[in-house]
Amino acid sequence: MSIVANPILPQNFRSINHHKRPMPRKSAADRLKTLRERREQLDAQLRALEARNKQAERKADTRRKVIAGALALEHYEKKPDSEFHRIIFRLLDEYVVRPHDRALFPELDEAGAHSAGPDGDASNGFTRTGPETESPSPTP
């Protein structure tokens, strides 16, 4: 049996590469530094991805609230004699207390919902009603 030379490799292949030495291994300190840099990069990528996910969740939550609020307001406006209208009116009257927010709901002040408080105190201009007090109903 004779040895057949590989036609792809040159005959002196060993002699061409025998003078190359393997690359020296990195020191432990260099490896630690490299790994720490890589960890910092991965941590930054994780933080960025988590921030994007949180932003997407907030955006979806805001959209859900806008849709639900639009539905509630449409029902509130189209059915002024409904129990739903009275409940929404009471909740708006109770919880929407800042003047610039109340201005978005002119029917709150038109109904005279906020005059003097139960003790005759009108210092803040609003009367907060609660579940324990009867809230005024809007006049159609």
Domain that holds residue 40: 29-72
Q: pLDDT > 70: what percent of the chain? A: 63
Question: Does 102 lie in the same domain as 67?
Answer: no
| Residue 53 falls inside a structural domain | yes
Asked if residues 126 and 99 have their Cβ atoms less than 8 Å apart, the reply is no
Of 72, 94, 128, which closes a domain? Answer: 72
Asked if residues 114 and 125 have their Cβ atoms less than 8 Å apart, the reply is yes
The band of 132, judged by pLDDT with boundaries at 50, 70 and 90, is very low
Q: Provide the pLDDT for residue 25.
A: 84
82-86, 107-111, 124-128: least confidently modelled range: 124-128
pTM of the model: 0.52
Question: Does 85 lie in the same domain as 61?
Answer: no
Residue 79 predicted with pLDDT over 70: yes
Residue 43 predicted with pLDDT over 60: yes
**How crowded is residue 90: how many other Cβ atoms within 10 Å of its Cβ?**
20
Higher pLDDT, 115 or 90: 90
| Residue 7 falls inside a structural domain | no
| Residue 92 falls inside a structural domain | yes
Quote the CA–CA distance of 134 and 118 in Å, as a whole number.
11
| Residue 87 falls inside a structural domain | yes
Question: Does 67 lie in the same domain as 33?
Answer: yes
Question: Does 33 lie in the same domain as 65?
Answer: yes
Quote the CA–CA distance of 108 and 138 in Å, as a whole number.
8
Quote the CA–CA distance of 32 and 38 in Å, as a whole number.
10
Q: Domains in the chain: how many in total?
A: 2
| Residue 9 falls inside a structural domain | no
| Residue 137 falls inside a structural domain | no
| Residue 68 falls inside a structural domain | yes
Average model confidence (pLDDT) for the chain? Answer: 79
Q: What are phi and psi of 120, to 5 degrees?
A: 80, 10
